[in-house]
Chain A
Amino acid sequence: MSEAKPLHEGLFNWPDPAAGLIGSRCLDCGEHAFPAQSSCRACSGQNTVPANLGSEGTLWTWTIQSFMPKAPYDTDETPETFTPYGVGYIELACGLKVESRLRENTPEQLRIGMPMTMELITVRQNGDGEELLTFQFCAAKESH
């Protein structure tokens, strides 16, 4: 099995992805952000700390990406092998809504308010044969 690592450091806990997404929390006003920010969009303060955002939430809205995007999209897919993917915002326990790819990719599979859980997927392989990973959400088992 080939080696794997995050496409971008600091978006989710690694190598323990079960701990979920990583964001930041403002010590002055309590607002969260994802990805982590050094300054606060809500109060303009600069007093933020890293925060575990977890891996569970509910679907706030969704759409489906039906055609293969142009650059900067960068995967190992070709227009022939491209598979449509869902895109949505997941409302997390802290209230923050995080934009994410969704495993589900048909309207029948997606419903606002459905429970969702995070998983990791391979975006592409790099030159060293390493799998580059990102997060996506999929329907939580309970709703099946």
Chain B
Amino acid sequence: MDVAIVGVGLHPFGRTASMSGLEQGAAAVRSALADAGTDFKAMQFAFGGSQDGGNADSLVNLLGLTGLQFTNVANGCATGGSSLNAAYSAIKSGQYDVGLVVGFDKHARGAFNPKPKDWGLDDWYGETGLMLTTQYFGMKIQRYMHDHGISRETLIRVAEKAYRNGSLTPTAWRKTALSWEEIDNAPMVSEPLNKYMFCSPAEGGCALVVCRSDIAHRFHPKPIYLKTAVVRSRNYGSFEVFSPSQPPEVADSPTVTASTAAFELAGVGPSDIDVAQLQDTEVGAEIMHMAENGFCAHGEQEQWLAEGATDINGRLPVNTDGGCLANGEPVGASGLRQVHEICMQLRGDAGERQVAGEPQVGYTHVYGAPGISGVNILTR
């Protein structure tokens, strides 16, 4: 049985001081249910996740105590990917007909504040100043630029595109386009990445209604089909965050293994993709993920960005809603926002940022610590 997405809902990312994380999740669910023309009582199951916003299954206090199976999912930044993967299996297996996927969050301002013990590390690692995700992102792209000839100009181009796309997206957090000079001159955070090259922790919620494809038209005139949903964790040698040491050989990242499996299962290749969402925690991530997901060779990003190939009117539009850079990252919801945007694009409902030519096949890629990737391939 194939799987369809028949309802999408977003509580805009950013800051909503008047609402808790759970309330933002509930708002996203109500919006997705309305989009699908159904109600919460019709939901047979739910998978949901939040890092700092509370237990996802507490949403039933706001949405109704209907007795449905509600499973909490926790996979860091890849929580949305894991939740959708679980829902995909629940429908695919024939166990359920229709259900809900939801993610939401409400993080404190500033960088995340991880504790060494939660990561299997001793206190010295944090106390001596090595426990910062920003350092890892800086070091990974620094080596990548050295190995593959990526310039600082390319980093700036990715940030420019993100805020430009954000300015076309009514639900984005950062809706103001930034000039080359503004990005170029921003304060340095972690060489070679500056303030405008990183996304920020944020708040928000996102939800999807998924069902058996043969009943999809009962809910929505334009169902989007989820061809495959794959999640992989890291192999030995993958260069990941919070690693006091790395093995001699650098292995393929979990993005490579998830992407390869997803293309194989969906029976399509990178050149078939019309619009993509790639995890852009910072600009270097988007650049590396273009190659790790198979869209170009390592190093070709330099030319792709110079040509505008990933712009909304380019040959592979990437992060058309401004991605994490313009939307911020409420960890539990972020991966689902990517799927939301691809659904809007494939339905032809993306407004000013709509990709021309009726895109048929979309792709989402979420990546999170400590080395987990989720890839979805969707079609109209």
Instruction: Identify the A interface with B (CB < 8 A).
Output: 7-8, 11, 23, 31-35, 41-42, 60-67, 69-75, 85, 87-89, 91, 94-99, 101, 107, 112, 123, 134
Contact = CB atoms under 8 A, between A and B. Distances in A.
Contact of B142 (A63, A73, A75, A96): A63
B190 A7 contact: no
A64 B194 CA distance: 11
A65 B135 contact: yes
Contact of A65 (B123, B129, B248): B129
A97 B245 CA distance: 5
Contacts of B190: 63-66
Residue among B122, B191, B248 with max Cβ neighbours from chain A (10 Å): B191
B113 interface: yes
A95 B191 CA distance: 25
Contacts, number: 113
A7 B125 CA distance: 10
A101 B135 CA distance: 11
A8 B123 contact: yes
Contact of A8 (B124, B246, B248): B124
B245 A95 contact: no
A99 B110 contact: no
A41 B110 CA distance: 33
The 5 A-B pairs with the shortest beta carbon distances in the complex, nearest first, are: A95-B248, A72-B126, A63-B138, A8-B124, A61-B143
Contact of A73 (B110, B127, B192, B247): B127
Contacts of B124: 7-8, 11, 134
Given A62-B139, A95-B248, A72 B110 contact: no
B246 A72 contact: no
Given A61-B146, A101-B128, A96 B139 contact: no
B266 interface: no
Nearest to A99: B244
B152 to A, nearest CB: 11
Contacts of A101: 128-130
Interface string B111-136: 10101100000111011111110010
A123 to B, nearest CB: 6
B146 A112 contact: yes
B135 A87 contact: yes
B306 interface: no
A13 B135 CA distance: 27
B188 interface: yes
Contact of A41 (B113, B139, B146, B236): B236
B142 A61 contact: yes
B126 A99 contact: no
A74 B124 CA distance: 9
A85 B135 CA distance: 11
Contacts of A134: 124, 128
B245 A99 contact: yes
A63 B129 contact: no
A89 B246 contact: yes
Contact of A64 (B111, B113, B188): B188
22 contacts: A7-B127, A34-B245, A35-B122, A41-B236, A61-B146, A62-B142, A63-B135, A63-B190, A64-B190, A64-B191, A65-B132, A66-B190, A72-B123, A72-B126, A87-B129, A87-B130, A94-B248, A95-B247, A97-B247, A97-B248, A107-B191, A134-B124
Contacts of A64: 138, 188, 190-191
Nearest to B236: A42
Nearest to B144: A61
- Residue among B113, B115, B135, B143 with max Cβ neighbours from chain A (10 Å): B135
A27 B193 CA distance: 40
Contacts of A112: 142-143, 146
Contacts of B188: 64, 66
Contact of A66 (B126, B189, B236, B244): B189
A31 B110 CA distance: 38
Contacts of A62: 139, 142, 191
Given A66-B188, A107-B191, A98 B245 contact: yes
B318 to A, nearest CB: 25
Contacts of A70: 110-111, 113
Given A65-B135, A67-B189, A72-B131, 18 more contacts: A41-B236, A61-B142, A61-B146, A63-B135, A64-B138, A64-B190, A69-B129, A73-B127, A75-B128, A75-B129, A87-B129, A87-B139, A89-B139, A94-B248, A96-B246, A101-B128, A107-B191, A134-B124
A110 B146 CA distance: 13
Contacts of A60: 143
B303 interface: no
Nearest to A112: B146
